[in-house]
Structure 1
Amino acid sequence: MTSESPRPTFTELGVAVEITDALEALGITHTFAIQEYTLPIALDGHDLIGQARTGMGKTYGFGVPLLDRVFDSADVEEIDGTPRALVIVPTRELAVQVGDDLQRAAVNLPLTVFTIYGGTPYEEQTEALKSGVDVVVGTPGRLLDLQQRGTLELDRVAILVLDEADEMLDLGFLPDIEKLMRTLTHRHQTMLFSATMPGPILTLARSFLDRPVHIRAEAADSSTTHASTRQVVFQAHRMDKEAITARILQAKGRGRTIIFARTKRTAAQVAEDLAARGFSVGSVHGDMGQPARERSLNAFRTGAIDILVATDVAARGIDVDDVTHVINYQTPDDPMTYVHRIGRTGRAGHEGIAVTLVGYDELAKWTAIDQELGLGQPDPPQWFSTSPELYTALSIPEGAGDRVGPSRKVLGGAAVRTSPRRRR
């Protein structure tokens, strides 16, 4: 054979027709690697650890068997309005994304999927739980709060999922997760998904999972970055980065683009600058309120804007498969942050381009990232906004300049304030 055989379909793996019909309506028939490997084990009710990078299809890797088993499994109690499945995720944005994905897959099932996260009033969540919820997706803090209030009943949860466990560790949620897991004293299935497996996550798995099967969707020695992502790295003067970015955003074939900054202030300033140059841009960073962040993220997901400037923490949970470009406006602090950033493109079979602008004062950081990940680019070239090499490497039209139209407003908020905020 001259090419690989296609991966099995969800139908071939024994998924209920109600779910496969819903997936087919979304254009999804064949599995990705993580789904192919996890489904047979998860459908049988076994505990498992799924290890795969961002964008490899983990949500339906656990979501499809979860829905299938809650809908029709002999070892899951019949639904009665108390949760049968609990999915714990690190951020509000990811909770919304996972909840939406599960709802789409469950459209033909008599199941209620509900998403719970902090920063919103309790009343709506309390009323929904009283009315009856079969599958809960939520963030650790609010889930624990509702459980301790007696509003969220977990004594009949048959399936527990921890998604992006390493990010929950990074954000300091491990104590809350352990408290939630200790409330599930009855027999249940646990699925833990994580891109990396640091020591505390391995300890968590050993403490709470029952003889889990460890699944890797790729070889242990495979590259930590997607092969479908082309990485372009060069040194750029700090004062020239905005002009360089404006030209990159005019590259041929550019679609949705995420620009990463290390600080809230820089994220806000870059968004303001690009909007002033005529680009349709939104921002997400920690100084924005949750409603403003959600407006930006929803506009990016729906295509109302095609550029999002984000800090690393604010960008967690952005799950969009057709991001064509990632721009590291500031070099990340460590190798895994670099991997997570550029993992936003080149996803789900798409090709992507990751551009890193290494400031002259950031060269030491880049060298450490390059050595750790074995990228083979320890001494990136120096390019400017007028360098022919920049235009050639990124397919930028010859006439591209600093502006593309009249000034616009940034969706999602203005620049970070420079004066201290008063406490109310």
Structure 2
Amino acid sequence: MTFQEFNFKTNLQKSIDDAGFKEPSPIQKDAIPVILEGKDIVGQAHTGTGKTAAFGLPILNMMKCNKEVEAVVIVPTRELAMQVSDELFKFGKYLDINTATVYGGQSYSRQLKHISNASILVATPGRFLDLLRDKKINIKPNYVILDEADEMLDMGFLDDIKEIFTYMPKQRQTLMFSATMPNAIKQLAKTILNEPEFITVTTSEITNSKIKQAFYVVDEYERDDALIRLYDYKNPDKSIIFCRTKKEVDRLSTFLVSQGFGAKGLHGDMEQRQREEAINAFKKGRLDVLIATDVAARGLDVNDVTHVFNYHLPFDSESYVHRIGRTGRAGKEGVAVSIVTPHEFRMLQKIQKSTGGRLEAKTIPNIKSVKDKKTNSLVEKIKAHKVDDSALLIIENLKEEYDISTIAFKLASMLTSATSVKGSNTIGKSHKDIEKLIESAVRNSSRNNDKRGGQRRRGPRSGGFKNNRNKSSSSSSSSNRRRRS
């Protein structure tokens, strides 16, 4: 099945094509037709299965685009709010649709100004409820979407959600998405939805089993050194480095070029011509390293990417899945490397739990390890290299002054410049340090689980941390849809 079969508006289909979407995911395939029929749904699907497009595309297709808030998307965190808003704006760019993002920590006046020009409002529960209670906004959306409902339940937002819906019009289409279905979510669905259709996509593993995933723990100031050392050691043929921000992409691309890498950046602020030039150069092999924001995670289709590096972890699991999915394509094996600090262990836990992926904890190689690997690689290249006539002439000329051993040593010395390694001998945390961090993360997770029981929490849900080594993950998925009244 292709997206063309949904018969979306021409301008919406154009943005889908721009994003590189070809075939709908299971949740998109099942949910989009039901939403287009105007029915309420409860979609059970893990992060990384394409939920934003599953509700965003049909809603955009049905909207009248009349310069008032027609749709509200409620999400648990500001990071997810920004991501969902960006993705919906991208899909609606040819429909003249603006999005507004509302969350705590920003000025009310600025957010209210954005809301006044928006057709879609993406909000976290606390700030959205404040605006409604204080009558700073008076909106009557036709569509209301709850994304990651179980996450909001775990964070203590259940009462806020219930109160928010007292301000929503009775005549509306309501969509709820949740990775799990605890009783509280089922009861909420009965309260706020009208005869919903339940759509379930169960996925034991949503990451490609051919992708070997690993993480390296460093202090913040070591990120650049760690990246260079890992590149020296792994020597990737073609790779993508993912960054969170456009500014980070620009800085890192400049830094890598100064270190002798054939690298270019890719982000949304670049002109279309510049972006196309970078992508074409990367696809055709004129460029070995592409440094990108998540704008490239969807639309970039290159089958020979050997490595993906997460310079920083993304803010959510779905972005992680899209990022590492750029390698291990067309049946080939791939490698996904994440550089993390101890402060990012919570996000690492969430990614492992949401994706079912097995990320192996590794230490960054020291200088000797890298030199040994480079030397072994150089020896193998020398063995495989064919001798040509011009080389024989050079040797004959040199034999007039030196014996054959001296000539060999001189030539080898010239070649060994390629085995030089920069930076400190030791970068990042040791295995012992990492084990302590993992133990601490597991303890904190257990402590948070014990504290839940209805208390209001503002941090993301903790999950069990896995320290799996040398194990491959298998993936299987099935989708099922059934109707309930």
Letter in 2 for 1:186: K
Q: Which structure 2 residues correspond to residues 101-180 of structure 1 after superposition, within 5 A?
A: 101-109=87-95, 111-130=97-116, 133-154=118-139, 156-180=140-164
The partner residue of 1:16 within 4, 9, 12 is 9
Amino acid at match of 1:184: M
Residue 184 of structure 1 aligns with which residue?
Answer: 168
Structure 2 distance, partners of 1:340, 1:12, is: 25
> Quick check: 1:236–1:384 contact (8 Å CA) kept in 2?
no
**CA 19–390 in structure 1, closer or farther in 2 if over 3 Å, else same:** farther
Match of 1:182, SS state, is coil
Residue 215 of structure 1 and its aligned partner are, at CA, apart by: 2.5
The one of 204, 207, 222 equivalent to 1:222 is: 204
Q: Quick one: which amino acid aligns to residue 37 of structure 2?
A: D
Instruction: Choose which of 45, 54, 57 in structure 1 pairs with 2:50.
Output: 57
CA contact (8 A) 2:48 2:321 kept: yes
- 1:287 maps to what in 2? none
SS in 2 for 1:343: helix
> 1:321: which partner in 2?
297
**Residue 343, structure 1, aligned to residue 336, structure 2:** no
Distance in 2 separating the partners of 1:398 and 1:168 = 51
- Indicate which of 423, 434, 450 corresponds to 1:402: 423
Shift in CA distance, 353/377, structure 1 to aligned 2, threshold 3 Å: closer
Q: What are the equivalent positions in structure 2 for 1:355-394 lying under 5 Å apart?
A: 355=337, 384-386=365-367, 387=369
The question of 1:231 aligning with 2:208 is answered: no
| Alignment partners' CA distance in 1, 2:189 and 2:340 | 38
Report the counterpart of residue 293 of structure 1 in structure 2: none
**Deviation, structure 1 residue 46:** 1.4
Residue 112 of structure 1: CA displacement?
4.2
Residue 81 to residue 241, structure 1, CA distance change in 2 (3 Å): closer
CA distance in 2 between partners of 1:19 and 1:373 (Å): 29
Q: Is 1:255 paired with 2:240? A: yes
Q: Superposition pairs for residues 238-317 of structure 1, below 5 Å?
A: 246-250=228-232, 251-252=235-236, 253-257=238-242, 306=291
- Structure 2: which amino acid aligns with 1:321? A
Which residue of 199, 205, 209 corresponds with 2:189? 205
Quick one: structure 1 residues 15 and 400, their matched pair in 2 at CA, closer, same or farther if it must change by over 3 Å?
farther
Deviation at 1:186, TM superposition (A): 0.5
Tell whether the 8 Å contact from 1:342 to 1:354 is kept in structure 2 after alignment.
no
CA distance in 2 between counterparts of 1:319 and 1:180 reads: 32
Q: C-alpha separation between the residues in 2 aligned to 1:46 and 1:165? A: 18
CA distance in 1, matches of 2:94, 2:216: 50
**Which residue of structure 1 aligns with residue 59 of structure 2?**
66
Give structure 1 stretches of 5+ with no counterpart. 1-6, 72-78, 260-270, 281-297, 309-317, 330-336, 360-365, 404-424
Deviations 1:63-113 (A, max 9, x none): 111112223xxxxxxx76542211112233332332232223223335443
1:24-78 residue CA offsets vs partner (Å, 9 max, x unmatched): 344445433322221101111112223334343222211111112223xxxxxxx
Contact 1:57 1:348 (C-alpha < 8 Å) held by counterparts? no
Q: Deviations over 1:134-158 (max 9, x none)?
A: 321222222111111213224x322
Separation in structure 1 between the aligned mates of residue 189 and residue 119 of structure 2, nearest angstrom: 25
**Cα deviation 1:236-270 (Å, max 9, x = unaligned):** 99xx99965542255523322469xxxxxxxxxxx
Residues 343-374 of structure 1, C-alpha deviations (whole Å, 9 max, x = no match): 36324887564447999xxxxxx99x999998
Distance across 2 between alignment mates of 1:117 and 1:377: 32
Q: Secondary structure at the match of 1:321?
A: helix
The C-alpha deviation readout for 1:292-339, integer Å capped at 9, x for no partner, is: xxxxxx99776999499xxxxxxxxx786269234799xxxxxxx997
| 2:32 aligned counterpart, secondary structure | helix
Q: Which residue of 1 aligns with 2:41?
A: 48
**Match for residue 74 of structure 2 among 88, 111, 121:** 88
- SS in structure 1 opposite 2:2? coil
* 8 Å Cα contact 1:168-1:174 kept in structure 2: yes
Residue range with higher mean Cα deviation, 244-253 or 89-98: 244-253
Q: Is the 8 A contact 1:244 1:385 kept in 2?
A: no
Larger fraction in helix: 2
Could you tell me how far apart the structure 2 residues matched to 1:39 and 1:349 are? Answer: 28
Q: Which amino acid aligns with 1:174?
A: L
SS in 2 for 1:223: coil
TM-score by length of 2: 0.53
What is the DSSP-based 3-state SS (H/G/I as helix, E as strand, rest coil) of the residue aligned with 2:323? coil
The amino acid that maps onto 1:96 is M
Q: State the TM-score, normalizing by the size of structure 1.
A: 0.59
Unaligned 5+ segments in structure 2 are: 258-264, 276-289, 299-306, 342-347, 378-417, 425-485
Does the C-alpha gap of structure 1 residues 350 and 47 become closer, same or farther in structure 2, counting only changes over 3 Å?
Answer: farther
RMSD: 5.0
1:31 aligned partner: 24
Shift of 1:188: 1.8
Bigger radius of gyration: 2
